[in-house]
Amino acid sequence: MRKCLTAGLMVMATMVVAPSFAQEDARATTCSNPVEMKGFTTCADVAKAEAEGALVLYSPAPEPGTVKILEEFNKLFPNIKTSYVRLQTGALYARLMAERQAGSYLADVLHMSDQTLVHDFQNKNGFAPYASPQLSHYGAEYKSQPEGLWTWGAVIMAGFAYNPAFLKAEEAPKTWAEIDNPRWDGAVSVKSSNSGLQFLTWELVGRANGGDAFWEKFSELKPKAFDSYVQQYDRIVNGDDKLAVTAQYSGYLLYHKKGAPMEFVAPSDGLPAGPEIWGVTKEAPHPEAARLFLDWFLSPLGQKVQAENIFLHSPRTDVDPPPGGAPIAELKLMFLKESPELLARRKEFVRMWSAMSGLR
């Protein structure tokens, strides 16, 4: 672990349990006799899942990692053909809702990184209740209320990244307040308004630094906004930008493993952190395959594949952190406490952030 990273991380995490929005009672029935199946337990009807013969995943995760996850699942269940739709969370949710409003139900498993949109989907009764036998290994703060609608499949977090060939360590910001600096004029990147992680950062950092005015001042630096951390990190490697803000920790770990010239700064005031949430959709065309996949993914088998290929942290305590990553308990994390007004705040964020940054 590089020095600038370690210095900012060796503190205990502070967890905030996010209460769910009110909705109709949709409690999942607990399975009393889960079946041991190829290294994990499941309550799905495996024969029916294989007869369905397909699984469709909607996810914002980077494509290479998603492909690897589905390949590993397919090795265990070759009769289930897998496919996926990949878009950033905001765009993915817009597509999903447009499809469902048209009476088209295509997604089996939904993965989103914006808890506000997840709660909106929950309020619309979009998740199919399913109490996976894996839920007992996840803390209450990582599960829907009532349980069995969705689960945090990973914890995602954001800081700063830079290339030491173009920026000295002493020049890099150490706190969120230090990103409002003319030094980064025209040389800083962020995530687009489609990113759940960007909204999370907007809310948490803004609240701690004077509200929306903080970001309005930051916008004077003409930040470039991108849908993917791949674009952000490639530009850092090539020297196109000096600083990546809302730099995804998992992306840094991936690039660092590849030997890219990259340093990551964990701001001393904390890393905005949030969920990668997974659940089975109501009216899923392949419901048993969806339940089977979710059980596998939430088990140590699936969580290990995710950690080793997408470099995300598992909420499970029996799964190691991604290669090169610090354990969650050693990270100073800032979590967003859920509240009903956040959906309206997100709409305002999309309007303001798109106007302030654009998608360049």
pLDDT, residue 37, reads: 87
- Judge whether residue 136 has pLDDT over 90: yes
pLDDT, residue 126, reads: 97
| Judgement on whether residues 164 and 257 belong to the same structural domain of the protein | yes
- Write the pLDDT tens digit of every residue in 326-355: 999 999 999 988 777 888 888 889 898 888
Domain presence at residue 170? yes
At position 1, the amino acid (one-letter code) is: M
Which phi and psi angles does 102 have, rounded to 5°? -90, 5
| Judgement on whether residues 182 and 122 belong to the same structural domain of the protein | no
- Judge whether residue 205 has pLDDT over 80: yes
pLDDT, residue 1, reads: 40
Triad 294, 300, 302: Cα angle to 5°: 45
At position 329, the amino acid (one-letter code) is: A
- Judge whether residue 210 has pLDDT over 80: yes
Residue 6 or residue 342, greater confidence? 342
Domain presence at residue 333? no
| Judgement on whether residues 109 and 198 belong to the same structural domain of the protein | no
- Judge whether residue 4 has pLDDT over 70: no
| Judgement on whether residues 265 and 278 belong to the same structural domain of the protein | no
pLDDT, residue 354, reads: 87
Which tokens go with 84? Answer: 């996926």
| Judgement on whether residues 51 and 119 belong to the same structural domain of the protein | yes
pLDDT, residue 360, reads: 42
Instruction: With beta carbons less than 8 A apart as the criterion, state whether 280 and 128 touch.
Output: yes
Mean pLDDT of the chain: 90
The residues near 184 (Cβ < 8 Å, ≥ 6 apart) are: 221, 223, 242, 243
- Write the pLDDT tens digit of every residue in 272-284: 999 999 999 999 9
- Judge whether residue 18 has pLDDT over 90: no
Domains: count for the chain: 2
Domain presence at residue 26? no
Q: Which domain holds residue 239?
A: 3-9+157-272+341-357
Instruction: With beta carbons less than 8 A apart as the criterion, state whether 334 and 159 touch.
Output: no
Please tell me the distance from the alpha carbon of residue 13 to that of residue 7, in angstroms, as a whole number: 14
